[in-house]
């Protein structure tokens, strides 16, 4: 399984790096996966929301992912960087929507879910985002579900900043089983939080 995490100026550090670490540790624990940080633009680095500069070696169009994860960041500030700016620019939502139409699964962490919404991916579907953007998500046409992680098959979303950990653990458990997920949780000394809403099934 090849996973691409899309970075942009003003991305929240934890939204992106927490899932990256879970996925990379899952690889070390035996999961058949790769995880890559990438951008949609031709840049060598991005500056994240708290000022951390993150180097980038790949553009998304150079990869062939099975899952694209979109972090959030700075949505409420309505500034010149962050998820709001990227939603207004439109490149990430359009790119992700095109990949989704081609059969690539997508995930949104925190207000990264709003970039999926701008691409019309969550229309009429259960989803969640950061508390500050729930009204925006609802107005976009999504069915807002009050859960830590919402799994609608090929679209998975998670709420607040730290929920990227829980989304990543859920994906690892779903795709690679309990043994690997538990091994990563032990290694990271983290207990994944819920609830997880799985569409068409009882919440776990």
Average pLDDT score over the chain: 96
C-alpha span between 71 and 168 (Å, rounded): 12
**pLDDT value of position 201:** 75
pLDDT greater than 90 at residue 173: yes
Query: Residue 143 class from Cβ within 10 Å (0-12 exposed, 13-18 middle, 19+ buried)?
Result: middle
Band of the pLDDT at 127, cuts 50, 70, 90?
A: very high
CB atoms within 10 A of CB 136: 21
Pairing mode, strands 155-158 and 149-151: antiparallel
Which domains are assigned to the chain? Answer: 2-198 (3.40.50.880)
pLDDT greater than 70 at residue 203: no
**pLDDT value of position 202:** 52
pLDDT greater than 50 at residue 204: no
Q: What percent of the chain lies above the pLDDT cut of 90?
A: 96
This prediction has a pTM of 0.96
List pLDDT tens digits, range 66-107.
999 999 999 999 999 999 999 999 999 999 999 999 999 999
- Whether residue 195 has a cis bond before it, omega within 30° of 0: yes
pLDDT greater than 90 at residue 41: yes
C-alpha span between 20 and 4 (Å, rounded): 9
User: Which of helix, strand or coil describes residue 99?
Assistant: helix
Report the candidate in 192, 196, 147 with the shortest Cα–Cα distance to residue 25: 192
């Amino acid at each position: 399984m090849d996973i691409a995490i899309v970075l942009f100026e003003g991305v929240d550090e934890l939204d992106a790096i927490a899932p990256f670490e879970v996925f990379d540790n899952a690889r070390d624990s035996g999961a058949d996966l790769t995880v890559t940080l990438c951008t949609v633009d031709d840049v060598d680095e991005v500056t994240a929301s708290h000022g951390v500069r993150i180097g980038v070696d790949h553009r998304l169009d150079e990869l062939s992912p099975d899952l694209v994860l979109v972090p959030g960041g700075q949505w409420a500030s309505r500034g010149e960087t962050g998820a709001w700016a990227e939603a207004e620019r439109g490149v990430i939502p359009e790119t992700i929507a095109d990949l989704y139409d081609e059969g690539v699964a997508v995930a949104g962490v925190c207000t990264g879910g709003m970039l999926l919404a701008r691409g019309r991916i969550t229309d009429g579907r259960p989803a969640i985002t950061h508390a500050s953007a729930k009204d925006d998500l609802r107005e976009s046409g999504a069915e807002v579900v009050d859960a830590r992680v919402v799994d609608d098959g090929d679209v998975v979303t998670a709420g607040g900043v730290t929920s990227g950990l829980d989304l990543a653990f859920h994906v690892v458990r779903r795709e690679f089983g309990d043994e690997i997920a538990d091994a990563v949780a032990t290694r990271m000394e983290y207990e994944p939080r819920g609830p997880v809403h799985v569409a068409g099934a009882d919440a776990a």
